[in-house]
Structure 1
Amino acid sequence: MRTMLFKAQHRMWWVPMLAGLVLLGACSSGVEKPKPVPLGPSPQGLAIKRSWSLAFGEVQFPLRTVSVGSDIALATSQGLVAVVDARTGQEIWRASVGSSVEAGVGFDGNYVAVVGQGGALQVFKAGRQVWRADLGTSVATPPLVAGNRVFVLGTDRTVAAWDAATGALLWQQARPGDPLVLKQPGLLAALGDTLIVGQGAKLLGMNPLSGTVRWEQSVASSRGTNEVEKLMDIPSGMARSGQQVCVRAYQHAVACVDSAKPSLVWSKPSNGFSGLAGDADSVFGVDGQGVVTAYRRNSGDIQWSSNTLRYRQLTGPVVVGRSVVVGDSEGNVHLLAKTDGTPLARLKTDGSAIAAVPVLVGQTLVVITQRGGVFGFVPE
C-alpha cells in the first residue's frame, strides 16, 4: 500500500444539491420550491430504442462516465467497479473497491481509477487492483487517467499525478485558494499535451510531466456581496473545439478561452452549476433553473434558450448528432434540436434521477441512473 498525504488546509465546504442554490434558499426559507414545467406528450422528432439495460448498483456520488473505443467504465456507491461493452451491455470485468466510492471513474482503456472511502485512490486493470494511495483529503472530482498517468484534484485544490502502472507519485502541486470551495466535481481534463484544471475562477494549463503551470486565465469576476455569492469554481465539463475551451464559472458566467495564446475570447453572465458541451459552432449549457441555452462559440451571443425543462434538476448536456441531450431527476432523457432547442425525443429509464451526464459510445447513448440502472439507446 502506498501512502501520500495531500497538504491539509482548513476550509469550509459548500455542498450544492442538484437543484442549486436558488432552490436550497427557497426550501430553507419555507417557500415552496418551483414546480417542474409539465412535459406533455413525448416528442416524435427522432426514433430511438432501448438496445439493452442492466442493473448495476446505486450511484450516490459524483460519477463521470468515460468511454474508450466501445468500452465504458462504471462504479457504484457500494464499491463495485466494472468495464462494460457499450454495444451489448455485457460486463468485461468487475472488481470490488472494498469500501464505498467517493469519486470516479477515470479510464484510459487499460486502467480504471476511483477514490474510495476516506480518500483512498485505487487503480484497477483487467479486474485486479494494481495499487492504491491514501490521499488524506476529500475528493469530489473523478480521477483522470491519461498519458499513462493518474491525476487527482482534491477539494483543497491540490493536484497530483501518479504513474498509472506502478503507483509511484510523480508530482503534486498545491495552490492558495479561497476559504470557501465547492464539494462537487471540478474541471480536470486533458487537452493535447496540457492538463486543464479549474482553480476558483481561473483556468490553468499545466505540464502533466512536472505539474508546472504553463498558463492561467481568469474566466469571470466576482459580483457577490457575501462568501457564498462570491464563491467561484469551474465545474467538470468543458466544451472544446480545437484550442478553444469553454467552461462555466459556478453561478457566475459561461466563458471561452483560447488556450493557444492564452486569452479570454468572451465571458457572459450565467447562474448555473453544471459543465458545458459543444461543437465547432455552438456551446450549450444548463442554468440553475433548468433553462438550456445555446451560445455562439465565436462571440457568446445567445442562439436560443429553451424553458421546456425548467426546474427539472437537469444534468449537464452532451452533444449527440443533431441534438443536445440532458437527463432529469425523474429518469427522463431529453433530446433537443441543436439548431433551435425544439424537443426531438424523450427516453425513459427506471424513474430515478439520471446520475451522470449521458455519454455517446459509438452509436450507443449510455445512461446511468441513481438507482443503478444502466441503459443503452440506439437509433432505430
Structure 2
Amino acid sequence: MSQTLHGFSGVVRHLLATFLAVSLVACSSGPQKPKPAELSPGVDLLGVRQAWVTKIAEVSLPLDVRVVDQRVAVAASNGTVAVLDASTGADIWRFSLGSPLSAGIGYDGQRAAVVTLGNEVVVLEAGRETWRQRLNAVSLTAPLVAGGRVFVLGADRTVSAFDGQSGRRLWQQQRSGEALVLRQAGVLMAVGDTLVVGLSGKLVGLNPLNGSVRWEAAIASPRGVNDIERLVDLVAGVSREGTVICARAFQAAVGCADAARGTVLWTKPATGATGVRGDRDFIFGAEADGTVVAWRRADGERAWTQELLRYRNLGTPLAAGRSVVVGDGTGLLHFLSREDGSPMARVSTDGTAIVAAPVLAGNTLVVVTRGGGVFGFRPE
C-alpha cells in the first residue's frame, strides 16, 4: 500500500490515505453490525428537563462546541456559525459564510474560527468575517483561539499560528511521519503558556510564540508491519485537571501526562475511537463496542464498566456533577452515575445522532445533533 501511495502528489496522497484509513476501520466489523442493546425502562433518579431548543443546519463536520461564560459557539456543515445565549438558546449573533466547513469551532468570547472545505481558516467577530487565510492541507480539528492568536492543526500534522487581529501567519511547525493519518479531529489546546498538540500518538508541548518543541509524551506508539497497523493518532476530547491531561489514542490506549513536566503518568490499553472527559477522580470514555468505562485518574485502573449501552454508537461523555452524560447515535442522552455507572436518567432530542460532546454552560447542558438541533437541558 505504501508503494502505491507514494506515486501520488502530496495532496492526493493525503486524501487517499485518510479515506483508506477510515474505510478500513469502518469495515473491520464486517457487513453485519451488532444490534444495539435493548434499553431498560426509563429511570428517573435525576430530574432533567428541556429548557430550550434551536436550529442551525446539518452537522456532519467534526464539531467542538465552545463555551465562554453564558455564550455557546456552534457551527454547521453548510457554513453557518452562531453564538447562542445559553440561558435562552437565542442568537447573540449568527452568520453564514457561504462556504462548507471541514472543522469548527474555536472561540474565546471575542473571535470565532472555523476551517472551510476549501482549506481556509476563517475568523469572525460580532457576526462578521474579519479575515481568512489559506492553509496548506485539510484540517479536521477545531481551531484554537487563545492569547490573541489562532492556532490550526492540519491533517498533515502541520501546526500553524496566525495573528488573531490581522490574520498574518506567525509561524508553522510541520511533523513528517506516517503515510496514513486518521480522518478525525485531533488534540489542540492551551495549558498555561504551552500549546499542547496531538501528533501521532504523542502529546507535544509547543512554545506558542514560535512553535518550538518543549516536550513530548507518548500515549501510544505505532506497532505492526504495515501502514494500517501502524496508524496511531490522538482523538479530540481530553480531560484536563490542572496541568494533567488525559487523552485517547485511537483504538489503542488511554493515558495521562503532566504538561508541566512533559512526562507520561500512565497509559492503559483501550479500544475506543472517541474522546474522553473526566473530573478530579475519574476519566470516562466509551469503548468501540459501547461499553462505558471509568478509569481512576490517579493510576489508570478501571473503577467500573457499564455494558447497558453497547453498540449504540456512543460519543465523548461529559462529567457533570454526580453523573456522566453521553449521547448516542439515535439522539438519546444517557445519564449514568459517576460512582458505579448505573443509569440515572435518559432524555431524547430529535432522533438524529448527537455529534459533539455535551458541554455545560452554567447550569445548562447543551448538546448538538446531526440534524442541526441545539438543545439546552437543565436539572428540575
Q: Does the TM-score normalized on the shorter chain lie above 0.5?
A: yes
Letter in 1 for 2:251: Q
Letter in 1 for 2:367: V
Offset of 1:335 from its aligned partner?
A: 0.9
Offset of 1:117 from its aligned partner?
A: 2.3
1:27-176 to structure 2, matched below 5 A, reads 27=30, 30=31, 32-176=32-176
Q: Which residue of 2 aligns with 1:3?
A: none
Conserved? CA contact 1:222–1:252, under 8 Å: no
Conserved? CA contact 2:21–2:228, under 8 Å: no
Aligned-pair identity (%): 49
Deviations 1:324-375 (A, max 9, x none): 1111010001111111001111110000000111111100000110001111
- The CA distance in 1 between the partners of 2:20 and 2:373, in whole Å, is 25
Letter in 2 for 1:314: L
- The CA distance in 2 between the partners of 1:330 and 1:244, in whole Å, is 33
- The CA distance in 2 between the partners of 1:121 and 1:315, in whole Å, is 26
1:22–1:133 CA distance, 2 compared to 1 (3 A): closer
Q: Which residue of 2 aligns with 1:292?
A: 292
| Structure 1 residue runs without a partner (length 5+) | 1-6
- The CA distance in 1 between the partners of 2:43 and 2:226, in whole Å, is 43
Letter in 2 for 1:227: D
1:299-314 to structure 2, matched below 5 A, reads 299-314=299-314
Letter in 2 for 1:251: Q
Offset of 1:226 from its aligned partner?
A: 3.4
1:135–1:207 CA distance, 2 compared to 1 (3 A): same
Deviations 1:19-61 (A, max 9, x none): x96652233xx4x110110112111110010000012211011
Are 1:188 and 2:193 matched, yes or no?
no
The alignment yields a C-alpha RMSD, in angstroms, of 1.6
Letter in 2 for 1:38: E
Letter in 2 for 1:24: C
Conserved? CA contact 1:14–1:181, under 8 Å: no
Count of aligned positions: 369
Conserved? CA contact 2:21–2:181, under 8 Å: no
Conserved? CA contact 2:191–2:259, under 8 Å: no
When normalised by structure 2's length, the TM-score is 0.94
- The CA distance in 2 between the partners of 1:8 and 1:128, in whole Å, is 34
| Structure 2 residue runs without a partner (length 5+) | 1-8
1:163–1:15 CA distance, 2 compared to 1 (3 A): farther
Q: Which residue of 2 aligns with 1:26?
A: 29
1:284–1:176 CA distance, 2 compared to 1 (3 A): same
Q: Which residue of 1 aligns with 2:224?
A: 224
Deviations 1:297-338 (A, max 9, x none): 111110001101111111111111111111101000111111
